[in-house]
Amino acid sequence: MTKAIVILAGGFSKRFGQDKCLIDLVGKPLVLHVVNRVSSVVDEKVIVSGSNALKEKLSNLLKSKIRVVVDKYEEQSPLVGALTGFESVNAEYSLLLPCDTPFVSAEIVALLLDLCVNKCAVIPRWSNGYIEPLQAAYNRKSAIEAAKKALNEGKRDLSSMINYLHGVRYVSTLVLQQLDSKLLTFFNVNTPEDLKKAESMLRKGKQFF
């Protein structure tokens, strides 16, 4: 079974005044924290950029550590980014990730990919029913087909793609908590306050892994 990671880098963030994936977190760009945590568990890695300008910055930063591609469609959305990423790798199964999860768990990533064998997708689900489609494993071919169907109907959200997938397995976060007790794998840096919190945890070594 071949496995890949597709990281959505997005683009400019109004909250941070720069490209979010390049925000400095304890001396290292945010996206590099994600790359370093998951690189060892997959065969292929690709980052999807929202623009050619960001692609150039990322390529210079990563220096061939990971391939960078640009969204194939002008209108940006997580679904467009996901489709671009899935079409850019050859692996049978791909795990989708955002660029702003500096504590992503390699153990959880590996588990989701392993559970995806013979499934169209494996998606974490919280006890309140909320799902995590941006930290989920997908059968690449099935996801491409489903994403195109959703886009052809004018839909741009990942939920629309998932609705076209048959054989989706949902994994309770209570199960994943056995690998990541604080579930920091789902911690997103969405605001300057989140960034300060992440910095504090990293400096104190409180990554809980």
Residue spans of the domains in the chain: they are 3-190
3: closest CA among 48, 41, 46, 47? 41
Structure confidence at residue 25 as a pLDDT band (50, 70, 90): very high
Q: For domain 3-190, give the fold.
A: Spore Coat Polysaccharide Biosynthesis Protein SpsA; Chain A (3.90.550)
pTM: 0.93
pLDDT per residue over 115-170, tens digit each? 999 999 999 999 999 999 999 999 999 999 999 999 999 898 999 999 999 999 99
Residue 85 pLDDT greater than 60, yes or no: yes
